Structure 1
């Protein structure tokens, strides 16, 4: 299960969008399998290790890590375009760190 730090102003709508995008990206909604494209990706040894570490932490694969990262980025870009702030907050606290440059 993926635990995300969420700006409370985005609330459940934000998490729902991420979940919906993950489902759409993996092509596993309603039993319909979407056609997939295989990509070949060159990464540094350090980035590969990061992908492996994250995959282990979420109990998934490197492909799942990349799909979740892309889904999160897509939702963040959309939120920023709507003038919302995205960042990391301590539990039940205001935004502690804003994510910029997205």
Structure 2
């Protein structure tokens, strides 16, 4: 296990959006999410995680130790195969990668 995973880290993400839609609601025709009491925009935790993943992927690209497992528009089976290949698990005619993982 790497040293970074052994410790707990907390950080703050600050961003400002003016005249934009940082987190549209797909159930409401991609309208901005708004707090009904304050009228301020809301951003979900899932949106924040996606923004952080996209940033890390852009800045670090394919640097060892910074690959993102869950990517937009990439099936998990492909990510599974890439992860297995990096770990030295190979797919053969007898065993598929997913069976090897089990």
User: Is TM (by shorter chain) over 0.5?
Assistant: no
- More helix by percentage: 1
TM-score normalised over the length of structure 1: 0.32
Task: Answer 1 or 2: higher relative contact order, Cα 8 Å, separation at least 6.
Answer: 1
Q: State the TM-score, normalized to the length of structure 2.
A: 0.32
